[in-house]
A and B are shown apart, each in its own frame.
Chain A
Amino acid sequence: MLAYLAKRLFVALLVALTVSIITFSLLHLSGDLAQSLAGPSATAADVEQVRKAYGLDRPLPVQYAEWIGKAVRGDLGESFFLKVPVSELIADRLPITLTLGICAFAFALLLSLPLGVLAAVRPNSWIDRCALALSVLGQALPSFWFALILIIVFGLKLRWLPVSGNATWEHFVLPAVALGYYATPAFMRLTRAGMLEVLASDYIRTARAKGLRTTSVLFKHALRNAIIPVVAVAAVQFGFMLGGSIVIESVFSLHGVGYLGWEAISRADFPVVQAIVLILACIYIVLTLLADMLNAVLDPRIRVR
């Protein structure tokens, strides 16, 4: 177990480092930062001055080394536009995005786990078909459009829920539904497939033969094993949700990290964009690492591989 853990940890660190290099070079190579900072009307001399002032005239590897050296100590630089430390900006906004992510995640699980179990218990029944239809339709819905439709129906026509801002928990309902819906197809399919496989296994037959109650067989014996693949995908999906929150946050004007990222992108606030990509990637890496650990605990066979 320890060797497995050490190996996974090493790979995770390597991935984080590579992501930081890619992000840094991608953003530095895609345009002249000094030019966009100085503005379109700046003279060549102004641009040069800006370049010197921000240290952009030094070789890229030097700039990268300085940035990553500070980043591991929690200093992510200063926003070009807002003139405050990036880490403060992100610390302010992260709770909102995490709240949104957790609500969306909870919504996705609450919808997909029961549906997946029911669909597996009665394959090819109407409930199985409904679940399938729901997941096929869900994969084709553009998230920004679904969010707007939710706003029109529940916010503007029915006036049930607020559609913009983050003042109360009610503000999170529509964004969470819009964001969480995207994880449901994957969860539902995996739960269904896992349950189908487990329910056909010998130990379930034994459990039934012993005369255990259906609920006990389904939830205590079957679901526990069927859920292993869901755990692995759940972590990945949560990471995708945080990444996808940029769309939902900008539609609902939720001032989370995604919204901050979008604002920063549109005003070429480079240190902020860089930091957000790195942080989202790191959250994703940590989550997949945790999922691997959890999987290894749930399924001892994985540890020996």
Chain B
Amino acid sequence: MTIDSFVSVEELLPSRGALLGARISSHTTFAIGAGVVLVIFAVALLAPWLAPHDPFAQDLGRRLIPPVWHDGGSWTHVLGTDQLGRDYLSRLIYGSRISLLIGTTAAAMSGVIGTTLGVLAGYFGGRVDLVVSFIITTRLALPVVLVALAVAAFIGSSMQIVIAVLGLLLWDRFAVVTRSATMQVRALDYIAAARAIGASTARIIAAEILPNIANALVVVATLEMAQAILLEATLSFLGLGVPPPAPSWGLMVAEGKEYMFFSPWVITIPGVALFTLVLAINLLGDGLRDLTAPEHRA
């Protein structure tokens, strides 16, 4: 055994170069993530001008045309057509609206619920904390996909129901993170100072606590948005999310499933779109966390 086979302790501590590297790479991660997310947002906003065809127009004479890079593809339908002859690129473009709308609204809704619970628990501690922790534990014990499917099925699935169900189910991480962040902030001197000059509890929470946990909140919001988008796609894939003929990416995969062997693009294209969007949002969140939390920079 030579000395080289040992890992030296110095090697385990990040070098200055590695630290610098990590900073640069978190900037790159953030830039790539933010760039892609912005592009997809722009596509969603400009959908009516960008889409070459009506995403709902069926043409049974032009079913399952392959994308342009396959044999038999044409520039009229760049990404081909689906089993009902609808232009795939147009459906993909309009589908980004569904994902982003559901992702942002569900994340906002769960953000409000989770932050309220987390801040209350972290600020007041004691019994309030016990109750909130119990609520979080209970929520974590519920199987999300199953409950969301069941509720969507029994109430009747629609975009609003999907948003409401996801918003009511995905607040756990918000609550956990804001609870511990609030606890840390609450112990600091400026909170004691604010109380000493007679600031009310509401004022302390709004003016001192919330701004100081905002970084953590934004990071969790990106993660939950990604989560909500994936879950919407999953619900739609299982036939209980956004109802047809809406061009939800999850629904597009479900509808293309039967044709996937001879026309694999009908499932690869929406899947790649979903993967790209979720990956970009996660990169954006990871980059934000690394940039805003210097203590975790290494």
Q: Enumerate chain A interface residues (CB-CB to B < 8 A).
A: 11, 14-16, 18-19, 22-23, 26-27, 30-31, 36, 121-124, 136-137, 139-145, 148-149, 151-152, 156, 196, 199-200, 205, 208, 213-214, 236, 239, 242-244, 246-247, 250, 258, 261-262, 265-266, 268, 273, 276-277, 280-281, 284-285, 288
Contact = CB atoms under 8 A, between A and B. Distances in A.
Interface string B218-259: 000000001000100110011110000000001001000100
A140 B275 contact: yes
A243 to B, nearest CB: 3
Contacts of A280: 143, 146
Contacts of A214: 1, 5-7
Contacts of B142: 19, 22-23, 277, 281
A70 B126 CA distance: 36
Contact of A144 (B250, B261, B264, B279): B250
A215 to B, nearest CB: 9
B149 interface: yes
A284 B239 CA distance: 26
B43 interface: no
Interface stretch (B13-21, B78-86, B198-206): B13-21
B137 A121 contact: no
Nearest to A202: B9
Nearest to A156: B261
Contacts of B240: 265-266
A155 to B, nearest CB: 10
B65 interface: no
A184 to B, nearest CB: 15
B154 to A, nearest CB: 4
A15 B134 contact: yes
26 contacts: A15-B137, A15-B141, A16-B141, A19-B141, A23-B142, A26-B147, A26-B150, A30-B154, A30-B155, A36-B154, A124-B21, A142-B278, A144-B233, A151-B260, A156-B261, A200-B9, A242-B143, A243-B145, A246-B143, A246-B149, A265-B149, A265-B150, A277-B142, A277-B146, A277-B147, A284-B143
Given A27-B154, A200-B12, A266-B153, A136 B279 contact: yes
Interface residues of B, number: 53
Given A205-B9, A246-B145, A284-B141, A142 B134 contact: no
A255 to B, nearest CB: 16
Contacts of A196: 12
B267 interface: yes
Contacts of B144: 243
Interface in B153-171: 153-156
Contacts of A200: 9, 12-13
A26 B150 CA distance: 9
Given A11-B134, A213-B1, A277-B146, A140 B238 contact: no
Contact of A247 (B1, B21, B238): B238
B136 to A, nearest CB: 10
Interface of B: 1, 5-7, 9, 11-14, 18, 21, 134, 137-138, 140-147, 149-151, 153-156, 226, 230, 233-234, 237-240, 250, 253, 257, 260-261, 264, 267-268, 271, 274-275, 278-279, 282-283, 286
A268 to B, nearest CB: 7
A140 B226 contact: yes
* A interface, over-half SS: helix
B153 A268 contact: yes
Given A30-B154, A246-B143, A265-B240, 10 more contacts: A22-B142, A23-B142, A123-B14, A136-B283, A148-B253, A148-B260, A208-B6, A242-B143, A261-B146, A265-B149
Task: Give me the 4 closest cross-chain CB pairs, A-B, nearest first.
Answer: A243-B143, A140-B279, A145-B271, A31-B154
B18 A273 contact: no
Contact of B234 (A14, A15, A144, A276): A144
A118 B7 CA distance: 11
A19 B146 CA distance: 13
Contacts, number: 159
Contacts of B155: 30-31
Contacts of B275: 140-142, 145
A140 B278 contact: yes
A253 to B, nearest CB: 12
Contacts of A258: 146
Contacts of B9: 199-200, 205, 208
Given A140-B279, A144-B253, A200-B13, A273 B150 contact: yes
Contact of A18 (B138, B151, B268): B138
A285 B134 CA distance: 12
A140 B150 CA distance: 25
Nearest to A143: B234
Contacts of A199: 7, 9, 12
B11, B140, B279, B283: most-surrounded residue (chain A CB, <10 A) = B140
A196 B13 CA distance: 9
Contact of A281 (B11, B141, B268, B282): B141
A86 to B, nearest CB: 15
Nearest to B144: A243
A36 B233 CA distance: 26
